[in-house]
Amino acid sequence: MGSAGVPVVVGLDNGGTSNNATVLTVDGRFLVDGLLEIPSEVRAGPEAAIEALAQALDGALAQTGVPRDLVQAVGLDTPGPASAEGVISSRGSTNFSQPAWRGFDVRGALERRLGLPVIYHNDGNAAALYAHHVHFGADAMNRSSVSAIVGTGLGGGVVESGRVIAGAAGMAGELGHVHIPLSGLLGPGQPEPTCACGFTGDVESVASLTGIERNLLPYWLTRYPDHPLAAEPVARAAKLVRGYGEREDALARDLFTQQAMALGRLFTVAANFTDPHAYFVGGGVVEAAPEFRDWFLATVREHTVLREEQAAVATFALVPDRDMAGARGVAIAALEALRAVPEPRPLVA
């Protein structure tokens, strides 16, 4: 329940099907332990979606017993592509496919609807921020990290001194579209992987569900023609392959080794570009059986080339609480905005 008059911020994670909400006190305590979801209504258009976000906020306050007048700010995350200010791409996106969403200022619209300051990040950046603050705790504002979130695409985030780097157009941390060397990564006769964005050989073309379906599985099924997945439609087979990986199936482990190699090459770029203290991996692999996810993270690390000095200080870890990471990450961002003071302080105890 609420904390006797202590001001709060609310984090709202907007997804293609659901909104998840959380409440964070200004002294750094989350008042919601698990998922607090309602339908996001994004397919019904912007007006219905903004109303659903407002309802998610009201539901979180009702659940925690916090009066609305104690809410100081709201954090919002959505899937991308969107600008740093929360304007959906002029081309729309997978989740925001209706024409009314193109170029829609979702952050500004929610701010007007709620009458409260709204701080925006895309969902990859929000999860990256949460992973960073949970991992480093009191040292978060003095540390840096890079996160790769493996989902339908490949999201991510770059955090420096405890804050997300957004970039001039809000498109920093679009790690999925970083090109990686393919030499030594592809199997014999394997075609160069292509991405839906038009690139060939970017990280997302390998390390994503779309990459499995478009590029990896069609190739590996030619190497294992008698595999049970050969009888499945490729879109369904792509979703089933992780279960085989958990059972140490040879095809699946070959496929996921390629994904881990791609992430290792991405992190090698990061090591030479921002030299972070930590490298985080999130997404579906986090939800897998412990043996599989530990193997996957170890394989990523094995293929990340660090100098001796870097290896001595860098850590590799999984993004925690994946389903809650978005809402919690933007709640932290909202609290950071409130705390914009000269002396940085940790945001989560």
Confidence band of 82 (pLDDT split at 50, 70, 90): confident
Query: The domain containing residue 231 runs over which residues?
Result: 137-317
Whether the per-residue pLDDT at 347 is higher than 90: the answer is: no
Confidence at residue 341, expressed as pLDDT on a 0 to 100 scale: 47
Whether the per-residue pLDDT at 289 is higher than 70: the answer is: yes
Q: Are residues 233 and 252 in the same domain?
A: yes
What are the structure tokens assigned to 164, written together?
């997300």
Whether the per-residue pLDDT at 342 is higher than 50: the answer is: no
Confidence at residue 345, expressed as pLDDT on a 0 to 100 scale: 59
What are the structure tokens assigned to 259, written together?
């994904």
Report if residue 349 sits inside a domain: no
Higher-confidence residue of 4 and 337: namely 337
Q: What is the torsional sign of CA 107, 146, 290, 237? A: positive
Separation between Cα atoms, residue 220 and residue 14, nearest integer Å: 35
Q: Are residues 333 and 311 in the same domain?
A: no
| pLDDT tens digits for range 203-245 | 999 999 999 999 999 999 999 999 999 999 999 999 999 999 9
Report if residue 69 sits inside a domain: yes
Q: Are residues 214 and 310 in the same domain?
A: yes
Whole-number CA gyration radius for the chain = 20
Whether the per-residue pLDDT at 152 is higher than 60: the answer is: yes
Report if residue 346 sits inside a domain: no
**What is the mean pLDDT of the segment spanning 27-47?**
94
Q: Are residues 284 and 252 in the same domain?
A: yes
Q: Are residues 21 and 85 in the same domain?
A: yes
Q: Are residues 64 and 208 in the same domain?
A: no
- The gap between the terminal CA atoms of the chain, to the nearest Å, is 19
Q: Are residues 160 and 308 in the same domain?
A: yes
**What is the mean pLDDT of the segment spanning 298-318?**
97
Q: Are residues 236 and 164 in the same domain?
A: yes
Q: Are residues 167 and 195 in the same domain?
A: yes
Beta strands in 136-226 (DSSP E): 144-150, 154-160, 163-164
Report if residue 266 sits inside a domain: yes
Confidence band of 95 (pLDDT split at 50, 70, 90): confident
Count of structural domains, the chain: 2
Confidence band of 250 (pLDDT split at 50, 70, 90): very high
Burial of 313 (0-12, 13-18, 19+ CB in 10 A): exposed
Separation between Cα atoms, residue 314 and residue 278, nearest integer Å: 5
Confidence band of 125 (pLDDT split at 50, 70, 90): very high
Q: Are residues 154 and 172 in the same domain?
A: yes
Q: Are residues 82 and 163 in the same domain?
A: no
Mean pLDDT over each residue of the chain, to the nearest integer:
93
Confidence band of 194 (pLDDT split at 50, 70, 90): very high
Q: What is the DSSP letter of 79?
A: -
Confidence band of 349 (pLDDT split at 50, 70, 90): low
Q: Are residues 267 and 153 in the same domain?
A: yes
Separation between Cα atoms, residue 14 and residue 19, nearest integer Å: 5
User: Which of 247, 344, 329, 324 shows the shortest CA–CA distance to 289?
Assistant: 247
Confidence at residue 346, expressed as pLDDT on a 0 to 100 scale: 64
Whether the per-residue pLDDT at 2 is higher than 60: the answer is: no
Confidence at residue 290, expressed as pLDDT on a 0 to 100 scale: 93
